[in-house]
Structure formats: structure tokens, C-alpha cells
């Protein structure tokens, strides 16, 4: 009986594509964790696997799967795994790959693929998350963007009052899709949905949980006619880390998260939980907004009512930039009560929101612009057609090739 043919290194790596990292949801080869394999003449297989962290609790499971799969190959007598850790750059690449793979398997929503989705989150209530959402959306719209707003704070909805919008959501006669409330702001537009448009009055108590919550949120994502030209979608998340937050993260894995906190140490510590929830669902944390940073009197005197440095400490802890510090002003609260966001007015807070909108739209989270891609694609198509025409003219074939009609 002939000796079994030894597997090659390529055979081993190919088999490792069946070893799934349970946390990241992709195989260790695609994630860049399988660093290499060698096969000795005596059937001894040595594999190098890099983990995201040296103390990864899932190491035992990965080890068992690797040994079971590779050990099943004919001719293999022993399997040894050398463990190492991914570098910072490799970790970033691995997480990006995991996010991309999850996004490709994500449920279909009515949100255009070109829309930049920003989740505005906080670890606890009372930090002004909804105020930040409304004023940031308003500032973005004022510069010409089409901005959607989902009031996903199911129990504490406040966006309708803060934007001065009321009425009910209605379905279109043709397709039955929900039409968001539309509000022109400057050169742009807000498109708004909220539980506040589905109840009789804003004092109605919603005692929903579990699947009912998930279904309500899913309706906002799947059944609302946002329009194909939506630049941004801002989601006012409920505070904390519950069913709604996790459901949204799974439905929108391409979303990015902004975390709102105050200068106080307690708010900063709680906000870390929201960050961890986001990262466990592979969301990109794009930065921190410190709200109610200080009170500035008319004569310029400053008072740190809620302490100092919480936003900067949180940003350093989570490894994300501090995007803005929003001061306390009476006009912010008054604007929220009267439906006239301060971002359209004057003062330090208004300027801070406009600067935040500019930073996001030009640097941190710019809208998806397909113009450049379209131009390059058109150039490539024209070049290919020109080459095809040239080849046809040079040949002896009598077949005629019609020239493309230039678009207007």
C-alpha cells in the first residue's frame, strides 16, 4: 500500500478557511490571522496563528478547530500551532475586513448605499444627545445636504418638538412606503421619522420591549421612503446598551458612531460602555462630542459647572478624536423647547455645531461622492470602446461597430 501524499502548505491554508473566528464571524485566513504553514516530510504540520489579543478567550476553540481540520488531512502525523498577536496595523485591517464581510451579509434596508449613517449614542441619559443630533442635522442641512433623522429613542422621543414638527406619518398611495416629514433648512432638507409621529401626544408612555422594539426600528429602516439622494442619516439612539442599540448595529453594520458625553467623570465612564457595544458589533467610532462643556457669561467669564476634561479623557480612553466641545447656553434649551435649533442662530454653541458639521462633512465623515468614480468609469468605458473601434477598423472583418451616442 503506497504512502499517502503529504499535503502542501497551500492545502493547509485552504483548509483553514473553514476555521471561523466566532467573535469576528469570518475565517482566520480572510481575516489575516493565519500567518503561514509548513509541512515536514514526516507529516509534522506547523501553523502560525495571530490573535487579536494575546489573551483571547476564544483561543481554545480556534485551536481545537485548527487541529481537527488539519489533523484530518492524509499524511499528517502532528499539528503544532505557534501563537502570536496581530500588530496595530494588522488589527485595523482585520476589523475592517470583518465589518465589510458583515455589511455584505446585512439585511436589505431602504437607506441608499451612498448615505453616510451616523449613530449618535451616549452611555446615559441627560447628556444632551438628542440636542446634539438635532443641531448637527440642522447644521449639515443648512450647508446644502439632504439629512435624514431617525428618532430611535423609542421611550424618550423628543426630536419632533426640538425641530418644531408635528403630525402623523402617512404611507404613499402607490407603494405603501412611509413618507418622512420634510423640512427645508437653508440650501438643504431634513427628513424626519419618530415614534412621536405615531402616538396621540408626546406624553404617551410606550411600554415596549424585545421583538416589538426591534420591529418598530426595522420599519424605520426598511419601510421609509428616504429618497435616493439622502446624504446623511443621523440616528438619535436610546441611551445605554439595550435591544434597540444592538438591533440597529446589526441592521446597519456600515454605520459609524459619535459618542456624546459631558465633562463629568461619571458620564465619561458610562459612555465607555456604549463604545464597547459599538465595537463589539464592528461599528467605527469616529469621535466624541463633549456637551455642556462650560458656561460662558455675557462678559466672557467661564464656569465649569460639570467638571472639566471628561470629553478629552473619554477620547483618549477609546482612541478616538474629540470632535467638539459644546458650551452651555440658555438659547440651546430654548431652541429645543420652541423648535428652533440653536445651530441656525448666533453664539458660541451655534458656532460649535456649525464647526462640527464642517469637520464631519469635509474630513471625518464626508458624504459618499460618486462623481469622481463615475468620471473614471466613463473614461475607461470610452477608452475601451475606442480601442474596440480601432481594432475593428484595422481588421478585414466587414462587421460594423456602431459608435456610442454621447449623453447630454
pLDDT recorded at residue 401: 26
The residue assigned the cell 431652541 is 335
Q: 106 vs 100, 151, 247, 252, 314, CA distance in Å?
A: 10, 22, 12, 7, 30
Q: Which CATH superfamily is domain 112-364 in?
A: P-loop containing nucleotide triphosphate hydrolases (3.40.50.300)
pLDDT recorded at residue 268: 83
Give the pLDDT mean for 305-333.
89
Judged by average pLDDT, the poorest of 39-43, 141-145, 242-246, 396-400 is 396-400
The residues with which 80 forms a beta bridge, in sequence order, are 46
Residue 375: which pLDDT band, with cuts at 50, 70 and 90?
Answer: very low
Four-CA torsion 87, 93, 99, 102, nearest 10 degrees: -100
The number of beta carbons lying within 10 Å of the beta carbon of residue 287 is 21
Judged by average pLDDT, the poorest of 70-74, 119-123, 393-397 is 393-397
Asked if 322 contacts 311 with a C-beta cutoff of 8 angstroms, the reply is yes
pLDDT recorded at residue 255: 83
pTM comes to: 0.68
Q: Which tens digit of pLDDT belongs to each residue from 194-205?
A: 887 766 555 555
Please name which of 321, 316, 239 lies closest in space to residue 288, comparing C-alpha atoms.
321
Helix axes 243-251 and 210-222, enclosed angle (nearest 10): 40
pLDDT recorded at residue 201: 57
pLDDT recorded at residue 24: 78
CA separation for the pair 113, 230 (Å, rounded): 10
- Say whether pLDDT at 238 is over 90: no
The CATH number of 9-103 is which of 3.30.70.20, 3.40.50.300, 2.40.10.500, 3.30.300.130? 3.30.300.130
CA separation for the pair 320, 314 (Å, rounded): 8
Q: Which of 104-118, 313-327, 380-394 has the highest mean pLDDT?
A: 313-327
CA separation for the pair 371, 51 (Å, rounded): 39
Q: Which tens digit of pLDDT belongs to each residue from 174-197?
A: 677 888 999 999 999 999 998 877
Q: Name the residue ranges covered by the structural domains of the chain.
A: 9-103, 112-364
Phi/psi at 266 (5° precision)? -65, -45
Amino acid at each position: 500500500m503506497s504512502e499517502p501524499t503529504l499535503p502542501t502548505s497551500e492545502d493547509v491554508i485552504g483548509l483553514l478557511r473553514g476555521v471561523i473566528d466566532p467573535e469576528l464571524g469570518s475565517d482566520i485566513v480572510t481575516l489575516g490571522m493565519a500567518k503561514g504553514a509548513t509541512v515536514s516530510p514526516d507529516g509534522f504540520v506547523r501553523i502560525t496563528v495571530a490573535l487579536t489579543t494575546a489573551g483571547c478567550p476564544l483561543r481554545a476553540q480556534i485551536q481545537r478547530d485548527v487541529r481537527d481540520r488539519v489533523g484530518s488531512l492524509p499524511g499528517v502525523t502532528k499539528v503544532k500551532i505557534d501563537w502570536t498577536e496581530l500588530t496595530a496595523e494588522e488589527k485595523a485591517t482585520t476589523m475592517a475586513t470583518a465589518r465589510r464581510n458583515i455589511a455584505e451579509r446585512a439585511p436589505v434596508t431602504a437607506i441608499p448605499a451612498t448615505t453616510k449613517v451616523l449613530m449618535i449614542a451616549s452611555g446615559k441619559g441627560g447628556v444632551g444627545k438628542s440636542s446634539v443630533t438635532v443641531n448637527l442635522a440642522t447644521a449639515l442641512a443648512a450647508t446644502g445636504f439632504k439629512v435624514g433623522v431617525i428618532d430611535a429613542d423609542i421611550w424618550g422621543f423628543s426630536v419632533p418638538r426640538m425641530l418644531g414638527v408635528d403630525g402623523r406619518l402617512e404611507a404613499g398611495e402607490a407603494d405603501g412606503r412611509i413618507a418622512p416629514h420634510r423640512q427645508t433648512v437653508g440650501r438643504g432638507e431634513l427628513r424626519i421619522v419618530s415614534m412621536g409621529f405615531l402616538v396621540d401626544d408626546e406624553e404617551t408612555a410606550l411600554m415596549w420591549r424585545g421583538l416589538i422594539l426591534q420591529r418598530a426600528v426595522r420599519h424605520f429602516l426598511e419601510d421609509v421612503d428616504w429618497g435616493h439622494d439622502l446624504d446623511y442619516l443621523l440616528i438619535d439612539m436610546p441611551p445605554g446598551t439595550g435591544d434597540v442599540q444592538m438591533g440597529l448595529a446589526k441592521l446597519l453594520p456600515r454605520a459609524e458612531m459619535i459618542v456624546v458625553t459631558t465633562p463629568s467623570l461619571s458620564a465619561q465612564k458610562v459612555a465607555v460602555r456604549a463604545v464597547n457595544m459599538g465595537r463589539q458589533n464592528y461599528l467605527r467610532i469616529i469621535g466624541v462630542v463633549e456637551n455642556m462643556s462650560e458656561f460662558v457669561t455675557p462678559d466672557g467669564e467661564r464656569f465649569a459647572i460639570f467638571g472639566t476634561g471628561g470629553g478629552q479623557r473619554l477620547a483618549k480612553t477609546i482612541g478616538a478624536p474629540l470632535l467638539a466641545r459644546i458650551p452651555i447656553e440658555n438659547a440651546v434649551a430654548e431652541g429645543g423647547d420652541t423648535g428652533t435649533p440653536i445651530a441656525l442662530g448666533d453664539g458660541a454653541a451655534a458656532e460649535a455645531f456649525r464647526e462640527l458639521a464642517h469637520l464631519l462633512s469635509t474630513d471625518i465623515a464626508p458624504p459618499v461622492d460618486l462623481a469622481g468614480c463615475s468620471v473614471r468609469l466613463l473614461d475607461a468605458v470610452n477608452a475601451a470602446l475606442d480601442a474596440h473601434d480601432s481594432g475593428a477598423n484595422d481588421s478585414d472583418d466587414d462587421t460594423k461597430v456602431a459608435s456610442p451616442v454621447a449623453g447630454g
